[in-house]
Amino acid sequence: MDRKIRATTVVAVRKDGKVALGGDGQVTLGDTVMKTHAMKVRKIGNGKILTGFAGAVADAFTLFERLEQKLERFPENLTKAVVELAKDWRTDRFLRRLEAILVVADRNSLFLISGDGNVIQPDDAIAAIGSGGSYALAAARALKDHSDLPAAEIVRESLMIAGDICIYTNQDITVLELETGGDA
C-alpha cells in the first residue's frame, strides 16, 4: 500500500504507565475542507483498546468491525488479533481494496496496521499516521525524550504542531487515554 493518505493526523504515545491516542478533526475532499469536527479515534473492545485511522471513513469502520471480531476470537491477545486482521486485509478480495491505515493500542502494545500486511510495533512506543503523521511523530519523539509531559499532553502538543504545518490537519483534537500494564 504505497498510497499517500492525505486526510488527517493520528498519533499514539506510551509513557509512564499510560497510553494516549489522539487525532485531529478535519475531513477534506480533494483540496476542500468538508468537516472540522470529525472523530477519528475511539475506544473498542469494551473500552480496553484505543484505535485511530487515516483514510476512508467507511473503510476504517469496516476494519474496526473486523478488528472487534478478531478481538472476540482472541480476547486478551491484541497481537494475535491485529496479525489476523492484517492477514485478512492483505488476502481478502474485498478487504484488499480498503484504503485506510490504523493505529491500535491496548495496555501493553501499540501497533500500526496497513493493508499491505504490515503490523509494526514501534521500538519507541510512538506511532503516527496520516498526512501530518511525520510532523506529529517527530514532535512526539522530541517531547517524549526531552520533556516531563504525560502521554496525553505529548499527543495533544504533537497534533497541535502537525496542525500548524499540515494543511490536511486541524487543531480540533480528541485525545483518549488508558492506564498501561507498565512503563514504556
Q: Which tens digits make up the pLDDT trace of 68-119? A: 999 999 988 999 999 999 998 888 777 778 888 899 999 899 999 988 889 9
Phi and psi at residue 80, to the nearest 5°: -65, -40
The whole domain housing 36 covers 9-177
CB hemisphere CA count around 91 (13 angstroms): 6
What span, in angstroms and rounded, lies between the C-alpha atoms of 89 and 97? 9
Specify the pTM: 0.90
What span, in angstroms and rounded, lies between the C-alpha atoms of 81 and 43? 16
Confidence class for position 15, pLDDT limits 50, 70, 90:
very high
pLDDT on residue 5: 46
The answer, yes or no, to whether residue 1 has pLDDT greater than 50, is no
Span 153-163, average pLDDT: 98
Within a domain: residue 4? no
What span, in angstroms and rounded, lies between the C-alpha atoms of 58 and 163? 24
Domain at 62, CATH number: 3.60.20.10
Active site residue 62: no
Within a domain: residue 173? yes
Span 3-15, average pLDDT: 79
Instruction: Report helix, strand or coil for 35.
Output: strand
What span, in angstroms and rounded, lies between the C-alpha atoms of 6 and 86? 21
Within a domain: residue 2? no
Confidence class for position 184, pLDDT limits 50, 70, 90:
low
pLDDT on residue 181: 59
pLDDT on residue 129: 95
119-125 LR contacts (CB < 8 Å, sep 24+): 119/82, 119/83, 119/86, 125/13, 125/14, 125/15, 125/19, 125/184
Helix (H) or strand (E) holding 133: helix 133-146
Within a domain: residue 184? no
Neighbours of 111 (CB within 10 A): 24
Within a domain: residue 84? yes
Helix (H) or strand (E) holding 19: strand 18-23
pLDDT on residue 16: 92
pLDDT on residue 182: 54
Tally of domains within the chain? 1
What span, in angstroms and rounded, lies between the C-alpha atoms of 159 and 180? 22
Helix (H) or strand (E) holding 158: helix 151-165
pLDDT on residue 142: 98
Mean pLDDT of the chain: 90
pLDDT on residue 6: 55
Neighbours of 3 (CB within 10 A): 12
Within a domain: residue 148? yes
Within a domain: residue 64? yes
Span 164-173, average pLDDT: 95
Q: Cα-atom radius of gyration of the chain, to the nearest Å?
A: 15
pLDDT on residue 95: 79
Within a domain: residue 182? no
